[in-house]
Amino acid sequence: MQCDVCQQKEATVFLTQIVGGKMQKVNLCEACSKDKGVNDPTGFALADLLSGMGAAQEIEKNPASQRCPVCGFTQADFKKTGRLGCSTCYEVFAEGLEGMIRNMHKGPEHVGKAPVAYLRSRQIDQKIKTLQSSLQEAVAAEQYEKAADLRDQIRRIEAGLEA
């Protein structure tokens, strides 16, 4: 079995650790295990090792030729650095990042703070959606006066967004 870190030498140290209820396994060669401080449990956390490593393989789900249109980043660059090029890379390489992010974190979705502007625009989106469905109902029920009123409300909100 090959070492997971250098991918060259034969693995002789096998580690299993449970992080947040998930079992994770790493196989290391003699040199890499020393390098990562495996012999010294005080300095070693498997999660640290994994978050910097398994990552590289996951990103290969994206085609090698794919480039971020904003910053020119490719999956090969990610494998080298373990960092992304810009915020748009998260859209471009979404497929490869998904599994990696799921493994690294407690949950797949953000539940904390969000910018006020984002929350506001989401609220407006939802309001427009509600108005649109009421509009369709009104049309179906042939309540044309109500429908015209709803249509005007939607137009006003959209005009406000553009302004």
Q: Which residues bind another protein (CB under 8 A)?
A: 17-20, 41-43, 45-48, 51, 55, 70-71, 73, 77, 81-88, 90, 97, 100-101, 104-118, 122
User: Measured from the CB of residue 88, what is the shortest distance to another protein in angstroms?
Assistant: 6
- In terms of CB distance, is 41 or 160 closer to another protein? 41
- In terms of CB distance, is 17 or 134 closer to another protein? 17
Coil, strand or helix: which one is 27?
strand
User: Measured from the CB of residue 129, what is the shortest distance to another protein in angstroms?
Assistant: 15
- In terms of CB distance, is 107 or 140 closer to another protein? 107
Coil, strand or helix: which one is 116?
helix
User: Measured from the CB of residue 73, what is the shortest distance to another protein in angstroms?
Assistant: 6
Terminal CA-CA length for the chain = 62
User: Measured from the CB of residue 62, what is the shortest distance to another protein in angstroms?
Assistant: 13
Q: How far apart (Å, rounded) are the C-alpha atoms in residues 143 and 151?
A: 12
Exposed/middle/buried for 78, CB within 10 Å: 0-12, 13-18, 19+? buried
* CA dist 60 → 15, 25, 52, 94, 103 (Å): 25, 20, 15, 11, 16
- In terms of CB distance, is 22 or 159 closer to another protein? 22
